[in-house]
A and B are shown apart, each in its own frame.
Chain A
Amino acid sequence: ETGVTQSPTHLIKTRGQQVTLRCSSQSGHNTVSWYQQALGQGPQFIFQYYREEENGRGNFPPRFSGLQFPNYSSELNVNALELDDSALYLCASSLDRGLISPLHFGNGTRLTVT
């Protein structure tokens, strides 16, 4: 069984730039969720994708966008980066849309915006 993988593991960007983060879901999982975790806080829900469609979104501005592909892998895109976007970005896959089955996380992408 292949777990959730994310790339890259670390990234440094400048304010105003754009970034794309990637995630491959665990085999057999059709749902991918993205979370942002700032230091000392719990993960905050960005959005979820189920069968290539967005299935819920947290309180994040439109410059945070995403995609899910037919193989259930996913991308998170962030435009016009701000300093406060510096955080650990976590991707999680699950068997369903998250009500019953738990989330399985990748090891995250640590983004630093300078």
Chain B
Amino acid sequence: RKEVEQDPGPFNVPEGATVAFNCTYSNSASQSFFWYRQDCRKEPKLLMSVYSSGNEDGRFTAQLNRASQYISLLIRDSKLSDSATYLCVVNADTNAGKSTFGDGTTLTVKP
């Protein structure tokens, strides 16, 4: 079983739709969490950190559920420019230096 698992998708949604991605992790000692966005053949870029109480950044909302060991990303009012692969990242103090990435969820927003 992978340490961090994501539904690979693809998710194909129309503009304006709301879409949600989940990411589960296996290490209960995990302490920090992030969502990254990766465009085709480009490097990952930080989208947002995920805080214990949940956090919002414009159309994006991230939540953490420690009991069930998953994080989620909600995108409201999808834009064409949101089309990308979304990677969740989990850090644990027990994994010195290592950020563990999921394999990503691919989103395509269509007109």
Contact = CB atoms under 8 A, between A and B. Distances in A.
Contacts of B44: 43, 90, 103, 105
Interface of A: 31, 33, 35, 40-45, 47-48, 50, 55-58, 88, 90, 97-100, 102-108
A22 B98 CA distance: 20
Interface of B: 4, 31-32, 34, 41-46, 49, 87, 89, 91, 93, 95-104
14 contacts: A31-B97, A33-B97, A40-B103, A43-B44, A88-B41, A90-B43, A98-B91, A98-B99, A99-B93, A100-B91, A102-B34, A102-B46, A102-B49, A102-B89
Contact of A99 (B32, B87, B102): B32
A45 B100 contact: yes
